Structure 1
Amino acid sequence: MSEEIIVAGWMDYEPGDRDEMLRHLVALGRRTREEEPGCLDYAMTADPGDERRIRVYERWVSQQALDEHFGTAHIKEFRTASAGLTRVGVSLEAHTVAETRPMR
């Protein structure tokens, strides 16, 4: 059995580019969740305390599912659509989940 992968962190964009990038990410997230059975969650949100920052959270059934995600048509379309937006910083990390349990 493969272990789940969580991708978490942030991306910073020029203040004028963040909202447009979020629009692209919302569309990408919708398609990713609908079309990729290996995606358990995919959420990109505006940081309310920083006009440049987008918070990233993705959850995948395996590293293979995440790797396959990068080869999808919707990722290629997203990259083309967002190519003109300026990212000024990024901190993303992939975490291999050893155990999951409900919080009480």
Structure 2
Amino acid sequence: MAEQIIVSGWMDYDPADRDTMLGHLVALGRRSREEEPGCLDYAMTADPTDGRRIRVYERWASQEALDGHFATAHIKEFRAASAGLARVGVSLQAHTVAATRDLR
């Protein structure tokens, strides 16, 4: 079984652009989850304490699934739609998952 990949972190946008970007990311996440079997989770949320920040959480079945994500038509459409929005900061990391267990 391939090792899962988690992408996490944040992106900051000009406050005037954050909600527009968030809307694009929500649509992108919906398509990624529906159309890409390797997309296990895709959540972008507005940080309630920072008017610029979008929190990022993605979980992929493998590195290959994540790589394939960047070649999809919906990523190309997303990039075109969001090209004019002002990102002012970013901190994103990809984590390779060694093991997973349920917490109860």
Runs of 4+ in 1 over 2 A off after TM superposition: none
Deviation at 1:34, TM superposition (A): 0.2
Match of 1:90 in 2: 90
Q: Secondary structure at the match of 2:43?
A: strand
Deviation per CA, 1:13-44: give whole Å up to 9, x if none: 00000000001001100000000000000000
- Residue matched to 2:21: 21
Shift of 1:9: 0.2
User: Which runs of structure 2 are paired with 1:50-89 in the superposition (5 Å)?
Assistant: 50-89=50-89
CA–CA distance in structure 2, aligned partners of residues 64 and 91 of structure 1: 22
Over residues 39-72 of structure 1, what are the superposed CA-to-partner deviations in whole Å (9 max), with x where a residue is unaligned? 0000000000000000000000000000000000
Alignment root-mean-square deviation, CA: 0.4
TM-score by length of 1: 0.99
Structure 2 residues without counterparts, runs of 5 or longer: none
The alpha-carbon deviation at position 95 of structure 1 amounts to 0.2
SS of equivalent residue, structure 2 residue 77: helix
For the residue of structure 2 that corresponds to 1:28, the secondary structure is helix
Question: How far has the Cα of 1:96 moved from its partner?
Answer: 0.3
Q: Give the SS at the match of 1:18.
A: helix
